[in-house]
Amino acid sequence: MALFSLSPEQFLEAFPFHLAIDKNLKIIQSGHAIQRLIPNLIQKPLAEYCDISRPKLLLDFDTISLNLSKLFILNFKGIELKMRGQFILHESQEVLFFLGTPWINDIQELKKTEIKLKDFAIHDSIADFLVLLQAEKMQSKELTDYHEQLKQMIAERERLIQVSEQRADALEASLIELQFTQEKLRKTNTEVEQLEARLRGLRMSQVQLIQTEKMSALGKMVAGVAHEINNPIGFIQGNSTYLEGYVQQLLGLIHLYQQEYPLPTNVVSEMIEDMDLDFLMDDMPRLLNSIQVGSKRISNIVQSLRTFSRMDEAQLKSVDLHEGLDSTLSILEYRTTKSSVESVFDDNLDDKSEIEIIKEYENLPLVECFAGQMNQVFMNILSNAIDAIVEKRRVLSADPSYRPEKDWIKISTTQVQLEFIHRYNLSLSSCPEQCHRELKICSDHSLQTSVQNYLKSQEKSHIMIRIEDSGMGIPLDQQSRIFDPFYTTKPIGQGTGLGLAISYQIVTDQHGGYLKCISKPGYGTAFIIMIPTHLS
Amino acid sequence: MYGLVNQAIEAMVRKNFSSQIWDEIHQKAAIQDPHFLSMAAYPDDVTHRLVKAASEVLNLSSGEIMRAFGSFWVEYVDEHGYAELMEMSGESLPEFLQNLDELHARVGLSFPKLRPPSFECRTGDESIAENTDQNTSTLCLDYRSEREGLAPMVIGLVEGLGKRFDTSVEVTQTQIQSADSDCDTFLIQYRPQD
């Protein structure tokens, strides 16, 4: 049982939203907040301002009095306000108190109602509820915003994934295209290389054709010249024999006249003195001899030229290679004799300026070959040997203290059998008699092996020709290129770079042979030619 | 502190400086992911680190940062969902200050991790106020908090409320919380603008 109660003023303060209703449902009292919101509602019917939203009851004093344990929701008209609370019947049984508070679901609704926080009793938790509501609303909005951001980020991520997949596809396509292009490029490069090789081959063929034509033209010219020269030379040689006989007879007659008539007449004596008969008789045989020697020499040269050109012989024939070598040497004799060799030492040529030709010929069988082309090979190699010696002299002559030594070219021929190759050892022997240098090249194992393999595969007898010189040798960085077409170390105009390339082709392609160069800088060079005895 | 406070710091830096400056500050504060949920509770240390970093980056003292934040806070909560609550708390500076403690109490009930400060507003002793005219009134505001170093923020808060209510204010701290006193006290001289 309550012992204490609130004063009316305290009651008004504790319940600022209360209503007091009489049995006629007139509002006889209200809290200050309600009065502020709805002025002049005292003594007005309750029904004029509100109705019962819940429970579903008639707005009737007695009915309400029977439902005091229920939660009432009053709906106020005009100000859009809901109040929630309970009815309490005053002990007098004549007044119903409605003790309640505004029911707000959204803090925005407060603005419409003009309710302030201060309108609520301090003990009323509706304000706290509103704070919580607002906080929850803000948080919900925040989460919605974050959710939206997240959705956008996911969409963006998916878009980026899609873009990156598209790019990956494009990259893969580009890669495939690149590979295809690379393959095309590789094929193109291969085709280019093949074309370049064909071009080189065509150039070589062109050069060889030109060279062949030149040689053919030369051969024809030589043949023509030889033919033209042969006749007069024949006359000279033939008649000189008779002439010699006639001269001997005439000289004998003069001697007889001198014996029989030791005292000539004055006219005869004067004539004898004028013509210097003694000298004439002494000199005439010598003149005749020199004419015979000269004509013989011309005949030999013509023969050498004809041998070299081989125009009067079939393409493939068994020939004596020594003849080809000798004919070539004969043609080059003008470059090796002391009267012709370029000497830079002094104006007076001496024996040391000669290039000695050393021949070491073995007995060789006739070799089936293209004789004219083999002579061309001999010409190229021998010419190069002479050039090497001349160049060496030119370089060394820069040293005033240098004294020349005798230079040489050695040509050796031999027949090579398979078993011979096992003891094969290349060396440049020192020049016989006057050469002090020893030129030695260690055994070339790679040469031995490759030649051995070659010979084994052929199983035929071969001829080996070795041409060595006492030149300066070929620098190491050039040795691998000497057989390359158009490669030359000579000044422009002096060398075409084709001699050895053509020689290599003649020996290896046309004769199935082997052409090797062995050189040691500072010592000399050797070319080794090996061809089979029989081609067919 | 609730995330709303850290959000307000970010908003203040972005508004008055730039997003790049904010990035610099939160990186300096070693906060890699500065996305705060307003109603989530964060350690006080996060807020302290942000204030310290802002002080270094902006070359302002922590007190200046806190004071500026206090003023900004009034504007921020008004614009971010609590305008009605602000309105319900008062229509003038003195009324609002009178309701300030109740407002914080109610917020503390709803958000227990907040541990809000308490305020006591009383009529000021005009005799101790300087250079007052007849239109100037005074109030004394006692501020109690378990957190230290936030007195400048209270000054900024009052200044921010002055702007809200078109009232010029002058705030002077007359007492510092110490072993001898359990609160910071501020003398507030205010005059409504006509």
Q: What is the pLDDT of residues B61-83, one digit of tens each?
A: 999 999 999 999 999 999 887 88
Q: Where are the alpha helices (DSSP H) in A332-401?
A: 333-336, 371-396
Residue predicted with more confidence, A156 or A457: A156
**B142: which DSSP letter?**
E
Q: What is the pLDDT of residues B89-113, one digit of tens each?
A: 888 999 999 888 888 887 777 777 7
Mean pLDDT of A125-139: 81
Query: How near does any CA of chain A get to the CA of B88, in Å?
Result: 4
What is the torsional sign of CA A329, A332, A334, A337? negative
- Contact yes or no for A430/A523 (Cβ under 8 A): no
Those residues of chain A whose CB sits closer than 8 Å to some CB in chain B are: 107-108, 110-111, 116-118, 122, 127-128, 130-132, 134-139, 141-143, 146
Pairwise CA distance, residues A259 & A263, whole Å: 9
Q: Is the pLDDT of residue A443 over 80?
A: no
Q: Which residues in chain A have Cβ-Cβ distances shorter than 8 Å to B81? A: 134-135, 137-138, 141
Q: Which residues in chain A have Cβ-Cβ distances shorter than 8 Å to B107? A: 131
Q: Is the pLDDT of residue A314 over 80?
A: no
Among A107, A127, A138, beta carbon nearest to B106:
A127
Mean pLDDT of A395-402: 81
Helix B3-16 with B44-58: angle, nearest 10 deg:
10
pLDDT band at A350 (very low <50, low <70, confident <90, very high): very low
| B window 21-50, beta carbon within 8 A of A | 35, 37-39
pLDDT of residue A302: 79
Q: Which of B85, B102, B111, B114 to mutate to test the interface with A (most CBs of A within 10 A)?
A: B85
Strand, helix or coil at A52?
strand
CB contact under 8 Å between A138 and B85, yes or no, is: no
Pairwise CA distance, residues B70 & B158, whole Å: 8
CA dist A462 to A401, A411, A427, A526, Å?
Answer: 46, 17, 20, 18
What is the torsional sign of CA A331, A334, A335, A338? positive
pLDDT of residue B51: 94
Query: How near does any CA of chain B get to the CA of A156, in Å?
Result: 19
pLDDT of residue B151: 92
Q: Which residues in chain A have Cβ-Cβ distances shorter than 8 Å to B82? A: 134, 138
pLDDT of residue B96: 93
Q: Is the pLDDT of residue A446 over 60?
A: no
Residues 6+ positions from A52 with CB-CB distance below 8 Å: A58, A59, A64, A72, A73, A74, A75
CB contact under 8 Å between B106 and A110, yes or no, is: no
Mean pLDDT of B45-59: 93
Give Cα B180 distance to the centre of its chain: 24
CB contact under 8 Å between B107 and A131, yes or no, is: yes
pLDDT band at A224 (very low <50, low <70, confident <90, very high): confident
- Which range among A138-147, A180-189, A340-349 shows the weakest confidence by mean pLDDT? A340-349
Residue of B nearest to A124 (CA): B106
pLDDT of residue B8: 94
CB contact under 8 Å between B109 and A128, yes or no, is: yes
Q: Which of B106, B109, B111, B114 to mutate to test the interface with A (most CBs of A within 10 A)?
A: B106
Among A128, A137, A146, beta carbon nearest to B81:
A137
pLDDT band at B26 (very low <50, low <70, confident <90, very high): very high
Q: Is the pLDDT of residue A3 over 70?
A: yes
Mean pLDDT of A304-314: 64
CA dist B117 to B94, B150, B171, Å?
Answer: 18, 10, 18
pLDDT band at A441 (very low <50, low <70, confident <90, very high): very low
pLDDT of residue A434: 29
pLDDT of residue A418: 47
Q: Is the pLDDT of residue A394 over 90?
A: no
Q: Which of B84, B89, B91 to mutate to test the interface with A (most CBs of A within 10 A)?
A: B84
pLDDT of residue A432: 31
Query: How near does any CA of chain A get to the CA of B192, in Å?
Result: 22
Percent over 90 (pLDDT), chain A: 36
Mean pLDDT of A243-270: 91
Residue predicted with more confidence, A215 or A516: A516
Residue predicted with more confidence, A397 or A194: A194
Residue of B nearest to A130 (CA): B85
Q: Which of A107, A110, A137 to mutate to test the interface with B (most CBs of B within 10 A)?
A: A107
CB contact under 8 Å between A139 and B84, yes or no, is: no
Q: Which residues in chain B have Cβ-Cβ distances shorter than 8 Å to A134? A: 81-82, 84-85
Q: What is the pLDDT of residues A353-388, one digit of tens each?
A: 688 999 999 999 999 999 888 998 999 999 999 999
Residue of B nearest to A132 (CA): B110
Q: What is the pLDDT of residues A146-196, one digit of tens each?
A: 889 889 999 999 999 999 999 999 999 999 999 999 999 999 999 999 998
CB contact under 8 Å between A130 and B85, yes or no, is: yes
Preceding amide of A55 cis, omega within 30? yes
Residue predicted with more confidence, B153 or A336: B153
Q: Which two tokens stand for residue A257?
A: 């006249």
Residue predicted with more confidence, B109 or B189: B189
pLDDT band at A346 (very low <50, low <70, confident <90, very high): very low
Q: What is the pLDDT of residues B119-159, one digit of tens each?
A: 999 886 655 555 556 778 899 999 999 888 889 999 999 99
Edge-first strand listing for the sheet containing A95-102: A27-30, A19-22, A95-102, A81-89, A72-76, A50-54
Query: How near does any CA of chain A get to the CA of B32, in Å?
Result: 18
pLDDT of residue B126: 56
**B165: which DSSP letter?**
T
Q: Which residues in chain A have Cβ-Cβ distances shorter than 8 Å to B5? A: none
pLDDT of residue A343: 47
pLDDT of residue A493: 67
Residue of B nearest to A115 (CA): B88
Q: Is the pLDDT of residue A223 over 80?
A: no
Residue A444's nearest CA partner among A385, A375, A519 is: A519
Mean pLDDT of A268-283: 90
CA dist A170 to A160, A163, A176, A179, A228, Å?
Answer: 15, 10, 10, 14, 83
Q: Which residues in chain A have Cβ-Cβ distances shorter than 8 Å to B87? A: 116
Residue of A nearest to B98 (CA): A118
Number of other residues whose CB lies within 10 A of the CB of residue A299: 17
Residue B129's nearest CA partner among B172, B96, B185 is: B172
pLDDT of residue B60: 94
The three-state (H, E, C) secondary structure of A486-535, written as one string: CCCCCCCCCCCCCHHHHHHHHHHHHCCCEEEEEEECCCEEEEEEEEECCC
Residue of A nearest to B40 (CA): A139
Pairwise CA distance, residues A19 & B89, whole Å: 25
CB contact under 8 Å between B110 and A127, yes or no, is: no
pLDDT of residue B187: 94
What is the rounded average pLDDT for all residues in chain A? 82
pLDDT band at A439 (very low <50, low <70, confident <90, very high): very low
Percent over 90 (pLDDT), chain B: 53
Number of other residues whose CB lies within 10 A of the CB of residue B102: 15
ipTM for this prediction:
0.75
Q: Is the pLDDT of residue A421 over 90?
A: no
Strand, helix or coil at A348?
coil
Residue predicted with more confidence, A136 or A152: A152
Q: What is the pLDDT of residues A466-499, one digit of tens each?
A: 999 999 999 998 888 888 877 888 777 666 677 8
pLDDT of residue A215: 67
pLDDT of residue B46: 92
Query: How near does any CA of chain B get to the CA of A131, in Å?
Result: 7
Q: What is the pLDDT of residues A59-109, one digit of tens each?
A: 889 999 999 989 999 999 888 788 999 999 987 879 999 999 998 877 777
Residue predicted with more confidence, A342 or B9: B9
CB contact under 8 Å between B38 and A139, yes or no, is: yes
CB contact under 8 Å between A110 and B82, yes or no, is: no
- Which range among A81-95, A129-143, A170-184, A272-286 shows the weakest confidence by mean pLDDT? A129-143
Percent over 70 (pLDDT), chain A: 85
Among A111, A117, A138, beta carbon nearest to B80:
A138
| B window 78-137, beta carbon within 8 A of A | 80-82, 84-85, 87-90, 99, 102, 106-107, 109-111
Q: Which residues in chain A have Cβ-Cβ distances shorter than 8 Å to B37? A: 139, 142-143
Residue A214's nearest CA partner among A481, A496, A482 is: A496
Query: How near does any CA of chain A get to the CA of B90, in Å?
Result: 8
Q: Is the pLDDT of residue A436 over 60?
A: no
Number of other residues whose CB lies within 10 A of the CB of residue B68: 20
Among A108, A110, A142, beta carbon nearest to B38:
A142
CB contact under 8 Å between A138 and B38, yes or no, is: yes
